[in-house]
Amino acid sequence: MTLKKHLHEKNRASWNAATPAHNRHKVDQAAFLRGGGSTLFPEELALLGDVRGRTVAHLLCNCGQDSLSLAALGAKVTGVDISDEAIAFARDLSRDSGLVADFERSDVYDWLESSRAAGRTFDLVYASYGALCWLSDLAGFLRGVAAIIEPGGRLVTVEFHPVAAMYDEALERRYPYRGDETVVETSGVGDYVADGGDALSPSGFRRGGDDFDNPYADYTFPFGLGDLVTGCAGSGLLVERLEEYDHANGARLFHALREASGRTWRFAENAPSFPLMFGLVARRTGA
**Residue 77 belongs to domain with CATH number:** 3.40.50.150
Assess contact for 221 and 228: CB atoms under 8 A: no
Q: What's residue 138's pLDDT?
A: 97
Q: What are the Cα distances from residue 286, in Å, to 56, 145, 154, 272?
A: 20, 14, 12, 43
Helices and strands (DSSP H and E) totals, the chain: 9, 12
Q: What's residue 287's pLDDT?
A: 64
- Alpha helix (H) residue ranges in 73-176: 84-97, 108-118, 138-148
- List of residues 6+ apart from 31 with CB closer than 8 A: 97, 203
Question: CB-hemisphere CA count at 13 Å for 245?
Answer: 18
Q: What's residue 231's pLDDT?
A: 97
Assess contact for 136 and 109: CB atoms under 8 A: no
User: β-strand 247-249 against 76-81: which pairing, if any?
Assistant: unpaired
Number of domains in the chain: 1
Assess contact for 132 and 59: CB atoms under 8 A: no
Q: What's residue 87's pLDDT?
A: 98
Cβ count near 49 (within 10 Å): 12
Query: φ, ψ for residue 17 (rounded to 5)?
Result: -75, -40
H-helix or E-strand spanning residue 2: none
Domain limits at 176? 5-284
Alpha-carbon span 8 to 11, nearest angstrom: 5
Query: Which residues are bridge partners to 65 per DSSP?
Result: none
Q: What's residue 269's pLDDT?
A: 87
Per-residue pLDDT of the chain (287 residues; tens, 9 = 90+): 789 999 999 999 999 999 999 999 999 999 999 999 999 999 999 999 999 999 999 999 999 999 999 999 999 999 999 999 999 999 999 999 999 999 999 999 999 999 999 999 999 999 999 999 999 999 999 999 999 999 999 999 999 999 999 999 999 999 999 988 899 999 999 999 998 889 999 999 998 767 899 999 999 999 999 999 999 999 999 999 999 999 999 999 999 999 999 999 999 988 888 999 999 999 998 76
Q: What's residue 216's pLDDT?
A: 98
Q: What's residue 67's pLDDT?
A: 98
Alpha-carbon span 165 to 175, nearest angstrom: 7
Burial classification of residue 70, based on how many CB atoms lie within 10 Å of its CB (0-12 exposed, 13-18 middle, 19 or more buried) = buried
- List of residues 6+ apart from 190 with CB closer than 8 A: 18, 212, 214
